[in-house]
């Protein structure tokens, strides 16, 4: 919601003059740093007191607003925010020029966003036409096959029969490894090349109108160089993809990407990775140039024909038509060079060069079954691919521009605490929460890693008996707490600190100008995953310490980790890390999203309310991720060597499938809920204390300077 603008001020009948008022947007801008609420909620709070709908608050309304919100915002008072002070803030400020560092950062962000938009466009378009592209490649690289549409359909049916439906996407993984960076580099670099050529050519005439011939030339040259740049970076990946498709067409089992790479380099040397690069560049430069020139030119004509305000107003179906025509024209003009490229990739050394390959193919196969073999298939899939790529890229970029325009109106984010303060608050919160739950957490790990099918599956009389046995054996339930704290405190500090950073990135990624459950989930999951990856070796030591698997002479983290690395290698310190991230990412994401939602929805202000909100968030997260936590503990303690998703299979196939998944889950719920609740509540308490202390210091300094 945006504050209303009005040209009319409330009229003071006593003096005959317009009564002064504070515009809503000024109030929101000044008090936003003090209020941990979204901008929309703050606008709603202020507008409730704007009874005359004048777009602001008079002095009486402002005093009433301060009085009624005194309990909600302890630092908000008439003394600190006098009406006259706010009136002074309504004087327009001279906009500051962004610094060189800020401009550079903006340029980097725009480039990365363009890079991402191009990668998404390439992935979507190539996935759609991957089956047709694979059939076309098989015809291109096999001189013995005669191309007709009927033969193409028969080949597709045979592929499904031999390899299953997914056989039509054989080599698609390797293709995505090439297409995503290729499309990203192409679309991102085109903007720079195109802008540079326009600047050098000065394409505007005397009357300010754009010279169409120079504009088309700049588009063609920009597209050509963009295609050449992307091809030079990604050509080895394209070569691997063609060879994988050829192996599957000969009835052989297609090798993996790594094996195919080793076979090629071992047989033909490193230079073979760029076999066919010259004909590829010769073909891709006119192809990319034609594609961009035709598409951009058609868009400019559509704007003129329909009298549209800008290219952003072009409908999606007209963009698709323009992209389809661009792909049809470009591929028809450069198809023989695409044939040569594929032949030189699959049979390196047979042709001496581009012209020799063209002449050999012409002599052996002719024009239509040689140079233009499979062109009909390209007429079907080519326009679809190009149209999809251009349209998706334009749509993503348009969404990015719209988000930037919308975000510029809010400028809502102003961190209440700095990153060092966030580190301290997060570390304190995690340490306090874990200290009170260490004994129960120790018991939970014992339950999780004892996988005997005969064990009781409920925490009842047997559970209390086990606690009694553990207390008799080890009265000090805080044993190994030092190891636990050395992991938990930095983990909590990093997670809460990273959450603030990732929240901004998540809002930009999801086109949200304010925090939402989706952005909080993404930010929380990313923050916890990164912290887990950094500190996972410490978690591994903690799990072994809890189950008495460490040597009695173990003295410190350093010696424990060093011994583990010497015995099984440095990589052993991260065994099971991927499984841990699979569990912690949704757990933290759901936890942060649920906690922030409950806190905002029910306006949790006290420590007890936030503690309850955090406990609910912990239960919600553990319902989803508890099985993965069990699997992680099993791998850490038993040191089983698995790979990929085999971790879950081997662990869960132990006696009692559901027992292994949800062993003592109600007990785990209580521990996790308690830990989450204390951690979230203490973190907010620390942050509130930091903000309050800073504001009081600034307030004292300000008023002392006045006196």
622 and 694 share one domain = yes
Out of 402, 428, 457, pick the residue that ends a domain.
Answer: 402
pLDDT over 60 (residue 558): yes
* 447 and 507, same domain (yes or no): yes
**Angle at 298 (CA atoms; ends 296, 299), nearest 5 degrees:** 65
The domain that holds 642 is classified in CATH as 1.50.40.10
Co-location of 344 and 451 in the same domain: no
Class of residue 3 by CB neighbours under 10 A (exposed 0-12, middle 13-18, buried 19+): buried
- Domain boundary among the residues 27, 58, 89 is at 89
CA–CA gap between residue 296 and residue 525 (Å, rounded) = 40
Last-in-domain residue among 376, 402, 428:
402
**What is the predicted pLDDT for the residue at 429?**
92
For residue 336, tell me if it sits in a domain: yes
Q: Is residue 94 part of a domain?
A: no
Please report whether residue 627 resides in a domain.
yes
- Can you read off the two tokens belonging to residue 349? 């050394």
Has residue 353 got a pLDDT over 70? no
Cβ contact 279:357 at 8 Å: yes
If asked whether residues 70 and 207 sit together in one domain, one would say no
Angle between helices 607-638 and 665-706 (to 10 degrees): 130
By residue range, what is the domain housing residue 15?
A: 11-89
Least confident of 186-195, 210-219, 222-231, 574-583: 574-583
pTM: 0.57
- Using one digit for the tens of pLDDT, what is the confidence trace for 258-282? 677 777 777 777 777 787 787 778 7
Same domain, 173 and 83: no
Same domain? For 517 and 657 the reply is yes
**666 within a domain of the structure (yes/no):** yes
Q: Can you give the pLDDT at residue 424?
A: 92
Domain count, the chain: 3
Are residues 68 and 203 part of one domain?
no
**Residue 21 falls inside a structural domain:** yes
Q: For position 69, what pLDDT does the model report?
A: 66
Do 201 and 273 have their domain in common? yes
168 neighbors 156 (Cβ within 8 angstroms): yes
Whether 667 is covered by a domain: the verdict is: yes
- What's the chain's average pLDDT? 73
123/61 same-domain check: no
Cα dist. 478→394, 426, 539, 622, 636 in Å?
A: 58, 22, 16, 24, 21
510 domain-assigned? yes
% of the chain beyond a pLDDT of 70: 63
Domain identity same for 311 and 459: no
Q: Are residues 384 and 468 in the same domain?
A: no
The answer to the question of residue 472 being in a domain is yes
Claim to verify: residue 23 and residue 164 sit in the same structural domain: no
Q: Check if the beta carbon of residue 661 is closer than 8 Å to that of residue 627.
A: yes
């Amino acid at each position: 919601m945006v504050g209303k603008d009005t040209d009319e001020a409330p009229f003071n009948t006593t003096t005959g003059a317009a009564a002064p008022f504070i515009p809503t947007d000024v109030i929101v801008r000044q008090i936003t740093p003090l209020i941990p609420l979204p901008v929309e909620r703050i606008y709603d709070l202020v507008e409730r007191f704007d009874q005359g709908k004048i777009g602001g608050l008079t002095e009486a309304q402002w005093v009433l607003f301060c009085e009624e919100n005194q309990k909600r915002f302890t630092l908000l008072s008439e003394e600190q925010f006098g009406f006259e002070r706010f009136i002074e803030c309504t004087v327009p400020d001279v906009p500051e020029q962004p610094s060189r560092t800020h401009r550079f950062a903006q340029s980097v962000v725009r480039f990365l966003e363009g890079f991402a938009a191009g990668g998404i466009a390439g992935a979507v378009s190539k996935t759609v036409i991957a089956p047709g592209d694979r059939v076309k490649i098989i015809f291109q690289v096999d001189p013995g096959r005669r191309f007709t549409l009927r033969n193409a359909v028969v080949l597709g049916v045979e592929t499904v029969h031999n390899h299953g439906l997914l056989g039509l996407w054989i080599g698609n993984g390797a293709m995505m490894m090439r297409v995503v960076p290729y499309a990203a580099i192409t679309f991102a670099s085109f903007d720079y090349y195109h802008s540079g050529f326009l600047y050098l050519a000065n394409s505007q005439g005397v009357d300010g109108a754009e010279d169409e011939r120079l504009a088309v030339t700049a588009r063609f040259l920009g597209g050509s160089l963009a295609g050449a740049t992307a091809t030079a970076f990604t050509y080895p990946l394209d070569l691997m993809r063609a060879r994988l498709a050829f192996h599957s067409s000969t009835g052989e089992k297609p090798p993996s990407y790594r094996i195919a790479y080793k076979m090629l380099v071992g047989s033909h040397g490193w230079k073979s990775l760029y076999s066919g690069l010259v004909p590829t560049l010769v073909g891709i430069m006119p192809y990319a140039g034609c594609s961009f020139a035709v598409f951009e030119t058609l868009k400019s004509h559509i704007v003129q024909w329909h009298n549209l305000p800008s290219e952003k107003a072009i409908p999606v179906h007209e963009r698709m038509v323009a992209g389809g025509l661009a792909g049809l024209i470009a591929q028809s003009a450069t198809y023989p060079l695409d044939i040569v490229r594929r032949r030189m990739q699959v049979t390196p050394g047979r042709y001496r060069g581009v012209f020799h390959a063209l002449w050999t193919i012409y002599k052996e196969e002719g024009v239509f079954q040689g140079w233009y073999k499979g062109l009909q298939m390209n007429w079907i899939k080519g326009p679809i691919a190009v149209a999809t790529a251009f349209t998706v890229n334009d749509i993503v970029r348009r969404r990015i521009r719209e988000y930037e325009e919308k975000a510029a109106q809010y400028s809502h984010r102003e961190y209440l605490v700095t990153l060092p303060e966030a580190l301290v608050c997060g570390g304190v919160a995690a340490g306090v929460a874990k200290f009170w739950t260490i004994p129960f957490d120790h018991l939970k790990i014992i339950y999780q890693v004892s996988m005997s099918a005969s064990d009781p599956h409920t925490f009842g009389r047997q559970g209390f008996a086990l606690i009694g046995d553990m207390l008799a054996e080890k009265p000090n339930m805080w044993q190994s707490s030092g190891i636990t704290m050395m992991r938990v405190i930095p983990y909590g500090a990093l997670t809460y600190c990273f959450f603030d950073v990732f929240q901004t990135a998540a809002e930009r990624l999801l086109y949200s100008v304010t925090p939402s459950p989706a952005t909080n989930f993404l930010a929380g999951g990313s923050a916890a995953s990164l912290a887990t990856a950094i500190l996972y070796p410490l978690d591994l030591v903690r799990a072994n310490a809890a189950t008495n698997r460490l040597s009695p002479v173990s003295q410190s983290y350093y010696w424990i980790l060093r011994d583990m690395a010497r015995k099984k290698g440095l990589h052993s310190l991260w065994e099971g890390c991927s499984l841990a991230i699979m569990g912690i990412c949704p757990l933290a994401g759901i936890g942060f999203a649920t906690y922030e939602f409950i806190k905002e929805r029910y306006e949790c202000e006290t420590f007890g309310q936030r503690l309850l909100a955090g406990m609910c968030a912990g239960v919600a997260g553990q319902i989803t991720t508890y099985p993965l936590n069990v699997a992680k503990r099993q791998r850490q303690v038993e040191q089983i060597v698995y790979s990929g998703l085999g971790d879950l299979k081997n662990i869960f196939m132990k006696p009692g499938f559901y027992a292994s998944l949800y062993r003592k889950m109600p007990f785990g719920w209580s521990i996790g809920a308690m830990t989450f609740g204390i951690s979230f509540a203490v973190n907010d308490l620390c942050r509130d204390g930091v903000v309050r202390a800073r504001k009081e210091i600034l307030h004292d300094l300000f008023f002392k300077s006045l006196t």
